[in-house]
């Protein structure tokens, strides 16, 4: 599980040519796609954060550094719209520079 470890430590694994942590523009793009598909942020009564997909009925568990979806397992934050949506909506994603 070298790739998974590399996500946790932030150190690039050998041969890891993908899955960079998204920059501001990439976060915005992922979140925009989540909104386009109608993804909704939900918080349960214990403070857990979830993203619900109305079209598929799926509900993914999101934290500040993880998501329960397949995309996260495969590529981490670089491919996960759920995590990006929560980061952007909560103001935790890097800000787009204002020109
Ligand atoms: Zn996800």
* Predicted pLDDT at 1: 37
Return d(Cα 82, Cα 66) in angstroms, integer: 10
* Predicted pLDDT at 19: 62
* Predicted pLDDT at 45: 96
69 alpha carbon – ligand 1 mean position (Å): 4
24 alpha carbon – ligand 1 mean position (Å): 17
* Predicted pLDDT at 53: 98
CA distances to 7, 29, 50, 65, 83 from 46, in Å: 26, 30, 12, 18, 19
Beta strands (DSSP E) in 1-99 are 40-43, 49-52, 59-63, 66-67
Q: In the chain, which residues have pLDDT < 70?
A: 1-19, 97-99
84 alpha carbon – ligand 1 mean position (Å): 8
């Amino acid at each position: 599980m070298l790739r998974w470890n590399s996500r946790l430590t932030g150190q690039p694994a050998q041969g890891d040519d993908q899955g960079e942590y998204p920059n501001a523009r990439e976060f915005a793009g992922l979140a925009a796609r989540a909104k386009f598909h109608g993804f909704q942020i939900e918080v349960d009564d214990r403070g857990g954060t979830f993203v619900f997909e109305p079209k598929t009925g799926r509900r993914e568990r999101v934290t500040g550094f993880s998501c329960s979806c397949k995309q996260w397992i495969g590529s981490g934050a670089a491919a996960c719209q759920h995590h990006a949506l929560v980061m952007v909506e909560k103001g935790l994603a890097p800000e787009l520079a204002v020109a």
